[in-house]
Amino acid sequence: MDRLLPLIQNETLKIWKKKRFYVVVLVLLVLIPIFTYAQMKIAENNQKNFRDWRSQTMQQISDYQNALSSERIPEEWKRFRRIAVQQLQYYLDHDVNPRSPDGVTFTRGFMANSVTLFYPLLVLAIASDLVSGERSSGTIKMLLTRPVRRWKILFSKLVALTLYVSLIVVASGILCYLISGAIFGYGGWTMPIFTGFLINGSDVDSAAVHAVPQWLYMLMQAGLIWFSSMTVAILALMVSVLVRSTAASIVTMMAAVIAGTILANMSSSWTSAKYVFAVNIDLTGYLAGSPPPIEGMTLLFSLLTLGGWAVAALIVSFGVFTKQDILN
Amino acid sequence: MRNIPSSNLWRTVSIAAVLSTLLMLTGFGYAVKDMLWPQGETFIGESPTTPPPENKSLSASSEIRITAFGDSLTKGTGDATGEGYVKQVMALLTEKWDKPVSLTNNLAVNGMHAGRLSELLRGDKGYEYAISQSNLILFTIGGNDLFQLATGKSASEATGEVDLDKLKEQLPSGLQRFKAVIERIHEINPNAQVVYMGLYNPFYDIDELREGSLAIQQWNQEAYAIMHPYSNMTLVPTFDLFENTIGTYLSSDHFHPNHDGYAQIAARIVQSLD
């Protein structure tokens, strides 16, 4: 442990002083009010048109059913709708509101929708130049000439990165709750949420469904977001070791993440796409019981795939970083 | 940042970050445990507490709450403006009585038939709730029972393949299912005004199929007989609108009414209400 803690402290403070975390917070401070406003407009409209959540849920079910009866709609899309109908019906049958308008519910939705693109982007803001930044500024030579083993340096960067990923997820949740709560109210912590829907083709098996209070659901969801963000962070660390310039490193990672999201939306026929890490990023979908992007994917599968990518990336990062010649 | 010494900053950041990491790990661990070894458990929320509407005639009630359900006719298919008869009834009622008129739900689904509807009314809490919360119920059903089952295709696509003998064969079983629907509506809400829109023959202008009108009229007559015991239920006839004026009131799919056709139906429904 000698020298490791000071190294971690050094890396953590470097990231802080580079004001990367400020950027993340600033982006959140701009975006969250925009989404809150949009959500407020939707809520106002619903309040005008529906007596209560039951009528609203009923109407949603019947709208989906009408879409299902149309022959123009692609089968794949119908499958999603069929599943949604069965889940909404489950909520209705058990007298539970699927989405009450409050700060906690908004935060839950915001975080779940952000997992595929927004969180990776925020993570990249910090992870992308961890190594490549030192190279372009030349400070890497100072770092590597100190009498410290190279793996310890990379390891301290990894620990600092992990700390910031946790901070990003927690800070986004807190900011979102504080901002949206000002509009929707700060309640909703104990509202029951159903989880445990099992998807078989286009049928929903509700044998394992159980209700959890929303605060626990949020905690579980944040944990899953943290796991997928960590995978993105570790991959970004690898790219930043391999690529000389920070811009190239951000572009490479962003391209991979975006390609994965597009694949997830269209690759139902190309099943081996499920081994791509970015297709597995949306872990929160398993919690909510939404159908996976490719049939046959499960939480365990996605965790193993993401874990596999992360371990491979770590091996490559440490292998290259400890052997690499630092020129120029 | 300069005024905060680095060691203080480090302490704050590291404590916050380590706590966050522990929190995330807990959440992650709990999520994995909860999802890989889920334990099913039934949870029932609170039953609805909103009071049902007052038990008075519509003209005496302080507000009118409508629930509509049934097939594509209630959905408003064929109306280019998307209003259908339900929205037009709402507008006419507001004009007639000058009191708040609201639509609790329009639950109509294209292709709905009486058998399915009767299932939904029995098994679906949402239907039960919507109907019990309303004092005016509008519905259409039966078209798909006769045409769809007679041709094996959805009603609007069946033109030209309608087999009149099969159509007649469908009558008794269709009416039985219709009876089940009516009985269930009465069970859920015996006080609301219920208006059922009678069937018409969309193929009146095709010579070989004009005879279908006789089967349709038989349906309407039997349906009237089924509804007759309940004084709060009304059957509004529509068949005459789609005979000589079929070109004016039918939409281009030659099955559903167009906007003007729905307007005529809406006017009739409103005339029948008090």
Q: What is the CATH number of the domain that holds B142?
A: 3.40.50.1110
Number of Cβ pairs < 8 A linking chain A and chain B: 158
Give the C-alpha separation, A295 to B35, whole Å: 18
Distance of CA A62 to the CA centre of its chain: 31
Distance separating alpha carbons of residues A200 and B201, to the nearest angstrom: 42
A89:B124 CB<8 A: yes
Find the CB nearest B41 among A54, A210, A300: A210
CA distance B117 to A188: 35
Does A226 map to a domain? yes
Please check whether residues B76 and B22 belong to one and the same domain: no
Contacts of A134 (CB under 8 A, 6+ apart): A140, A143
Distances (CA, A) of B112 to B120, B160, B189: 10, 21, 21
Least Cα separation, residue A69 to chain B (angstroms): 6
What does the alpha-carbon distance between residue A31 and residue A267 come to, in Å, rounded to a whole number? 30
For residue A309, being part of any structural domain is answered with: yes
Q: What whole-number distance in Å separates Cα of residue B235 and Cα of residue B270?
A: 12
Q: Which ipTM did the prediction report?
A: 0.89
Domain annotation covers residue A56: no
In this structure, are B174 and B84 located in the same domain? Answer: yes
Neighbouring CB atoms inside 10 A of B183's CB total 15
Three-state secondary structure of chain B: CCCCCHHHHHHHHHHHHHHHHHHHHHHHHHHHHHHHCCCCCCCCCCCCCCCCCCCCCCCCCCCEEEEEEECHHHHCCCCCCCCHHHHHHHHHHHHHHCCCEEEEEECCCCCCCHHHHHHHHHHCHHHHHHHHCCCEEEEECCHHHHHHHHHCCCHHHCCCCCCHHHHHHHHHHHHHHHHHHHHHHHHHCCCCEEEEECCCCCCCCCHHHCCHHHHHHHHHHHHHHHHCCCCCEEEECCHHHHCCCHHHHECCCCCCECHHHHHHHHHHHHHCCC
Per-residue pLDDT of chain A (328 residues; tens, 9 = 90+): 557 888 899 889 999 988 889 999 999 999 999 999 999 998 888 888 887 888 888 888 888 888 887 777 777 778 888 888 888 888 888 888 887 888 999 999 999 999 989 999 999 999 988 888 888 888 888 888 888 888 898 999 999 999 999 999 999 999 999 999 999 989 888 888 888 888 877 788 888 888 899 999 999 999 999 999 999 999 999 999 998 888 888 999 999 999 888 888 776 677 888 898 888 999 999 998 888 888 888 899 999 999 999 999 999 999 999 888 776 5
Mutate to test the interface with A, among B13, B66, B112 (most CBs of A within 10 A): B13
What is d(CA A312, CA A290) in angstroms, rounded to the nearest whole number?
Answer: 29
Pick the closest to residue B108 from B77, B145, B78, B152 (CA basis): B77
Q: Are residues B117 and B35 in the same domain?
A: no
Strand partners for A195: A210
pLDDT at B149: 60
Chain A interface includes B15 (CB < 8 A): no
> Within a domain: residue A284?
yes
Least CA distance to A228: which residue of chain B?
A: B28
Q: Quick one: B258 and B134 in the same domain?
A: yes
Question: Is residue B127 situated within a structural domain?
Answer: yes
Number of H-type helices and E-type strands within chain A: 13, 4
Q: Do residues B40 and B155 share a domain?
A: no
B138 with B2, same domain: the answer is no
Count of domains for chain A: 1
Q: Which of A195, A220, A221, A286 to mutate to test the interface with B (most CBs of B within 10 A)?
A: A220
- Domain presence at residue B73: yes
> What is the rounded distance in angstroms from the CA atom of residue A293 to the CA atom of residue A86?
18
- Whether residues B25 and B109 fall in one domain: no
Chain B residues in contact with A162 by the CB 8 A cut-off are 21
Q: Spell out the residues 6+ positions from residue A287 whose beta carbon is closer than 8 angstroms to its own.
A: A195, A217, A220, A221, A224, B31, B35
pTM of the model: 0.84
The residue of chain A with its CA nearest to that of B24 is: A223
Residue A9 structural domain: 4-49+99-323
Interface test with A, best of B35, B71, B87, B112 (most A CBs within 10 A): B35
- A10–chain B Cβ distance below 8 A for any pair: no
Same domain, B97 and B21: no
Residues pairing with A13 in the sheet: none
What was the pLDDT predicted at A267?
61
Instruction: Tell if the CB–CB gap between B130 and A55 is shorter than 8 Å.
Output: yes
* Spans of chain B, pLDDT less than 70: 1-5, 149-162
Residue count of chain B, please give it. Answer: 274
Cβ–Cβ contacts within 10 Å for residue B15, how many? 10
Instruction: Please give the backbone phi and psi of residue B250, each rounded to the nearest 5 degrees, phi first.
Output: -100, 145
How many Cβ atoms sit within 10 Å of the Cβ of residue A29? Answer: 11
Report chain A's terminal Cα–Cα distance, integer Å: 32
In terms of residue numbers, what domain contains B6? 1-45
In a domain, A54, yes or no: no
B positions 126-145 inside 8 Å of A (CB): 126-127, 129-130, 133
Tell me whether residues B24 and A192 touch, CB distance under 8 A: no
pLDDT given for residue B2 in this prediction: 46
* Same domain, residue pair B114 and B250: yes
Distance from CA of B173 to the nearest CA of A (A): 23
Please state the domain count of chain B: 2
Pairwise CA distance, residues B178 & B172, whole Å: 10
Looking at the structure, do residues B96 and B186 belong to the same domain, yes or no? Answer: yes
Residues B148 and B39 placed together within one structural domain of the fold:
no
A214 touches A192 (CB < 8 A): yes
Which residues does chain A have within 8 Å of residue B9's beta carbon, measured at their own beta carbons?
13, 16
- Mark which residues 172-231 of A lie under 8 Å from B by CB: 192, 194-196, 206-212, 216, 219-224, 226-227
Q: Is residue A217 part of a domain?
A: yes
Residue B37 near chain A (CB below 8 Å): no
* Structure confidence at residue B155 (pLDDT): 52
| Pair (B29, B68) in one structural domain | no
